[in-house]
Amino acid sequence: AQTVTQSQPEMSVQEAETVTLSCTYDTSESDYYLFWYKQPPSRQMILVIRQEAYKQQNATENRFSVNFQKAAKSFSLKISDSQLGDAAMYFCAYRTRSGSARQLTFGSGTQLTVLP
């Protein structure tokens, strides 16, 4: 079974600075998808970015980018020019490509605080 580990329960960053949230996962599969979700205080789950394992190029979405290291099974999220609205719980998630219906496996989350 796949597992996803987020080793940083809490992180803080100064407004306008850059922060990196770490995520590692364990799988025996070679093809899969990885996601970062954001959960602000409103509780809504918002997709931030996704990465396909067969793509070597790291995904980017505006101020959000990932560092995908397939061999190391690492999938970190970098937030540049942090804004107060980035404060949230961030979840890393794994999804198999093999057709299994088990869908997303989530990490335990990292609570990000943005300091003004």
Partner 1 sequence: EAQVTQNPRYLITVTGKKLTVTCSQNMNHEYMSWYRQDPGLGLRQIYYSMNVEVTDKGDVPEGYKVSRKEKRNFPLILESPSPNQTSLYFCASSSRTGGNSPLHFGNGTRLTVT
Q: Does 101 engage in binding with partner 1 (CB under 8 A)? A: yes
Measuring CA to CA, how many Å separate 106 from each of 41, 70, 110, 113?
A: 18, 18, 11, 20
Shortest Å distance, C-beta 111 to partner 1 = 10
Q: Does 63 engage in binding with partner 1 (CB under 8 A)? A: no
Q: What is the Cα–Cα distance from 98 to 106, expressed in whole angstroms?
A: 18
Q: Does 116 engage in binding with partner 1 (CB under 8 A)? A: no
Segment interacting with partner 1 (CB under 8 A) among 15-23, 60-68, 73-81, 103-111:
103-111
The region, left, alpha or beta by phi > 0 then psi within -120 to 50, assigned to residue 30 is alpha
Residues at the contact surface with partner 1, assessed by CB under 8 A: 4, 6, 9, 33, 35, 42-45, 47, 50, 52, 91, 95-104, 106-109
